[in-house]
Chain A
Amino acid sequence: DQQVKQNSPSLSVQEGRISILNCDYTNSMFDYFLWYKKYPAEGPTFLISISSIKDKNEDGRFTVFLNKSAKHLSLHIVPSQPGDSAVYFCAASAMSRDDKIIFGKGTRLHILP
């Protein structure tokens, strides 16, 4: 049973436009959410996170929005750049439980010239 779902396996966005990657979760105990970026043959790198006490966190071109009632979060990248082409993983954890972070299956983002 997938607790963290990224329903879009891939997404193509024109360079300079906004990229929106979506993530849904089912476990109401999750209170900390992260986004990772992964290039081929490399390990994921941490991008941005958000605690459940917030509904928005911004870092440069990257903004994560959290909608707790809908159990949904999204990552916005604006403007999109060629180097943003990668696989993006959504992840979630429950601080009150243990150290396990649950990852989604990832969304491959293609930035088109």
Chain B
Amino acid sequence: DGGITQSPKYLFRKEGQNVTLSCEQNLNHDAMYWYRQDPGQGLRLIYYSQIVNDFQKGDIAEGYSVSREKKESFPLTVTSAQKNPTAFYLCASSMGPSNQPQHFGDGTRLSIL
């Protein structure tokens, strides 16, 4: 059963700590994305990757980092430099070209203790 798995569903972080959100897909998609959703806001793009070992900043990349060492995996690290990290984070993938619909995971809600 193909899909995108995000873990954990809920995550708590102490101030000053880095935390990594996991995203795995078995859809054999080339492109992967990370979005952030805040209340009353749309989906804002953090980082995206079109191919293994390559990624680009989105609209709100500051305070975040990513890696794409494997096609199936695109972890997102929320660093201590991210001043307002509390949000709902969504990972997505697509076959590649921008005309393909993106498939989303069920998200990770990050909260600061």
Contacts and interface: CB of A to CB of B under 8 A. Distances in A.
A43 B106 CA distance: 4
Interface residues of A, number: 27
A93 B99 contact: yes
Contacts, number: 61
Given A103-B43, A105-B40, A46 B102 contact: yes
Interface stretch (A14-22, A71-79, A94-102): A94-102
Contacts of B99: 32, 51, 93, 95
Contacts of B101: 34, 46, 49
Contact of A32 (B4, B41, B98, B107): B98
A100 B48 contact: yes
Interface in B73-113: 90, 92, 94, 96-99, 101-107, 109
Contacts of B107: 41-43
A100 B98 contact: yes
5 contacts: A46-B101, A99-B31, A99-B94, A100-B45, A106-B42
